[in-house]
Amino acid sequence: MELDDHAEDLASDLGVDKEEVKDDLQNLVEYSVPIDEAKQSLRRKYGDGSSGGGGTPSAKDIADITPDDSNVTVTGVVLTAGERSIRYQGDDHVIVEGRLADETGVIDYTAWEDFGLSPGDTITAGNAGVREWDGEPELNLGESTSLSFEAESREVPYEIGGDADLADLRTGDRAVTIEVSVLECERKTIDGRDGETDILSGVFGDESGRLPFTNWDPAPAIEDGGTVRIENAYVQEFRGVPEVNVSEFSTVTPLDREIDVGSDTTTMDVADAVGTGGIYDVEVVGNLLAVRDGSGLIQRCPECYRVIQKGQCRTHGDVDGIDDLRVKAILDDGTGTVTVVLDDELTERVYGGTLDGALEQAREAMDQEVVADTIRERIVGREYRVRGHLSVDEYGANLDAEHFEESDDDPAARATALLEEVDA
Ligand SMILES: [Zn+2]
C-alpha cells in the first residue's frame, strides 16, 4: 500500500483531513517508524478511542515505562536537548532530541513541537506517546502532549548536559558536548539533498581516544584545525563504527587548551570491545594464539587491491598480482577473541625484514609460506597490546592495528602492584 492509501485509510477512520494525516505519516515514516506503528500512533494522536481515548494517562516513573505503554504522563529533568533537521515532503522540519531523567531512570525523547526545552528544566509531559526503538521505550512529545515546566526543580542522580568523552560515545547518542582536537580534516563536495554541497570529514581526538566525524555545514574552526568545543553533536554509525555528526545546529567554538590525544585511552576486555559493535580507537591486551592462513607474503589484485590466490581475483580474473605483506592473527584475552590485522609496515616489524627480504626468503625456499612460518615462530604464544579500529560483522571481529607491541606487563609485576594497592 502506498503512503497515500494509508493516509486515506486513516483520514476516513478518524474523520480528519487527509493532507494533515499524510504529513504526520510521512514525517514518522521518514524517521524510520514502521508504517503500522506510525498509523497506530496517529490513531492515538487523533483519538479514535481504541486505546482509551481522551483521558490523561496516569503518571509513571521512568523506570516503569515499557514499550507496551501507549501513552504516559511523566515528570522529569531534561538532561539534554539537541535540535536536528529532518526533511519531509520537501520541507525541513526541526525536531529536538535528548534524554529525560527522574529518580528512577533515564529515557530518550523526541519532541516534534518546539516546546523550548533546555537542559536542567523540570517538566511534566502529559500524554506523551511511547514508542519502541531497538527494544527500548522512547517518548514522543507531540501535538497531543501537554507540556508544562515545573517551578520546583527536581534532583536526579544523572549529570545534566551532554558532556562526553569520545570513547563513551555510542551510535544513537544525541545532543552531546565534546572538546576535541581536529586530527584530520578534508573538504569534500557531495551530492546532498539540495544538490552539490561541501562538507568536512576527518578525525577528532581527545584524551580518551579518537572518532571520525562529518561536519555537514563546514565550520571554520574545525577546518582551521586545532582544538574545539562542540555542543549539540549527534552520533551515527558509518562503516561499522560510530561517527560524530556536527550539524548546522551544533555550536563550534575554538578552544585555547591543548588536548593530549589518547593519553587516557582505556584498555578494554575483548568481549566488551566486541560487544560495542565497533569502536574506532580501542586497545586490548591478549595472547596471540595463531597466525591465520593468508598471512605473510601475499599477492593483491592491482585493480581492487583484494588478496588473490594463485593469480586469480574473484572479480577481475587472471591478474598480475602485487606482492605485499600482512598478518591476520588471533588474539585471545580470556573474555573473547579478535582477529588482529597488521599492515605491511607492522608486518615488516614482526617479521624482522622487508618485502624484498621476504621475496628472497620465499625464492630460496621455493615456498612463500616460509614467511608466514617465520612470523608464527616470532609471535605465537606471546602477549601483545594492540590498539586500532575494531569492526564487527557476521564473520567476527577484526582489529585493524595501528600499534602492536609486546605487552610489558609481566604477571608477577601486576600481582605485586595489586598487593601494594591492597596494602596501602
Ligand atoms: Zn580484483
Could you report the per-residue pLDDT of 297-320, keeping only the tens digit for each?
999 999 999 999 889 999 999 999
CA of 314 to the centre of ligand 1 (A): 6
Write the DSSP assignment of 282-325 as a string of letters: EEEEEEEEEEPSS-EEEEE-TTT--EEBTTEETTTEE--PEEEE
Q: What is the pLDDT of residue 422?
A: 60
Percent of the chain with pLDDT over 70: 92
Please provide the average confidence, as pLDDT, over all residues in the chain: 88
Kindly give the distance from the C-alpha atom of residue 242 to the centroid of ligand 1, in angstroms, as a whole number. 29
Interval between CA 372 and ligand 1 midpoint (Å): 23
Whether residue 270 is predicted with pLDDT greater than 90 in this model: the reply is yes
* Cell output for 398: 577484526
User: Is the model's pTM score more than 0.85?
Assistant: no
Q: Distance from the CA of 318 to the center of ligand 1, in angstroms?
A: 9
Give the range among 36-40, 164-168, 257-261 with minimum mean pLDDT. 36-40
C-alpha of residue 393 to centroid of ligand 1, in Å: 22
Work out the pLDDT band at 409, boundaries 50, 70, 90. low
What's the CA-to-centroid distance between 391 and ligand 1, angstroms? 23
Q: 411 pLDDT band (50/70/90 cuts)?
A: low
The string of pLDDT tens digits covering residues 81-92 is: 998 888 767 788
Amino acid at 217: D
What is the enclosing helix (H) or strand (E) of 137?
strand 136-141
Residues 133 and 130: their CA atoms lie apart, in Å, by: 10
Contact 244, 167 (CB under 8 A): no
24 CA to centre of ligand 1 in angstroms:
47
The amino acid occupying position 147 is L
Q: Which residues contact 176 (CB under 8 A, 6 or more apart)?
A: 80, 82, 162, 163, 164, 169, 232, 233, 234, 235, 244
How much is the average pLDDT of 360-387?
A: 96
